Amino acid sequence: MIKFDLLTTIEYGGCSAKIAPDILDNLLASIKSSIPIGFDKSNLIVGFDTSDDAAVYKINDNQAIIFTTDFFPPLCSDPYTFGQIAATNAMSDVYAMGGNVLLALNLIMFPDKNIPFNVLTDILQGGQDKVIEAGGIIAGGHTINDYPPKYGLAVLGLVALDNIITNSNAKEGDVLLLTKPIGTGVILAGERLKLVDSENSTITIENMKLLNKEAASLMNKYNVKAATDITGFGLLGHAFKMAKASFVCLNINVNKVQFIPQTIDLIDYGCIPGACFRNRNYMENYLDVISNVNYNKKMALFDAQTSGGLLISVDEKKVESLLQELKKSYPCTTVVGTVEKYTGSYIKI
């Protein structure tokens, strides 16, 4: 079997390849304004309006479907691992909204020359194995001839109406939990520069392959109504989306955020991915810095995450019990802040 290093094909990989959030906001605004007046969307529970993780559509008096998609260029050398991470990342939106994965379709962009086809086979096997682990089924897909390669899924999930979790239900007085450490974008950039040791490389890969399925189940158990997964816009970008949708302020305690080891040292060394700066530029007008925040840690909060954890807004009476249960599957889960009344700032650090 021919070995092939996928990192030789890309400049930006994973969720670092996303379009900058300010450009995306402008694009979505123009699309929203073109929807005809009177267009029936009464069964659409979650759509464009709150920049949530996925669309949610009511199908009967008890259930709704969750529909999402995600794909990106390679972020690691090994094709099978890339397939696993891309699939895990795509399914995360379903879990962030409290659902279970039912079906997935492969989205494949791969060249018909220059890369051996056994590489594509390995990518697809990695994706399929993760969907099976999630309890879902890959039922087909679509391929186009393209370079560099890209892979992901379109995912269909199911959720009880009573269990729907959105980014627009954070309440004043809630406590914020984060289930995975921050730093995947920085670590992956350091990998390409041969600056990351094998232990932290493994930690990063394992975190990205870890399904948010158990977190979704626990959120339902504790009747959580507000959460979002942390991906390409970084912790602060996705926190902002939640705060704005809920019309509250999220006060993030930077010193409570868990980082993948080496993340802060790499930033100090100058290993800062371009997505960090794009996300920072987007957030500057919405961010209130109220404490003496270390520059390196602040930049890490803008780091684009791939297959990141969930930021969960939970009633303070339930937070300790939920925290202890989450730690069994997500050992780095920690309290990272609180939800406050909006007084002019969506995010405080």
CA distance linking residue 243 with residue 166, whole number of Å: 11
> Which of 85, 86, 52 has its CA nearest to residue 67?
52
Radius of gyration of the CA atoms of the chain, in A: 19
Helices 274-283 + 234-246 axis angle, to 10: 30
What does the DSSP 8-state code read for residue 29? H
**Token representation of residue 32:** 């929203």
CA distance linking residue 132 with residue 135, whole number of Å: 5
**Which residue type does 244 have?**
K
Residues 6 or more apart whose CB falls under 8 angstroms from that of 228 comprise: 52, 53, 96, 167, 238, 239, 241, 242, 310, 311
For residue 141, list its beta bridge partners.
106
- The one catalytic residue in 15, 249, 271, 276 is 15
Q: Respond yes or no: is residue 249 known to be catalytic.
A: no
The owner of tokens 């930021």 is 311
Catalytic residues: 15
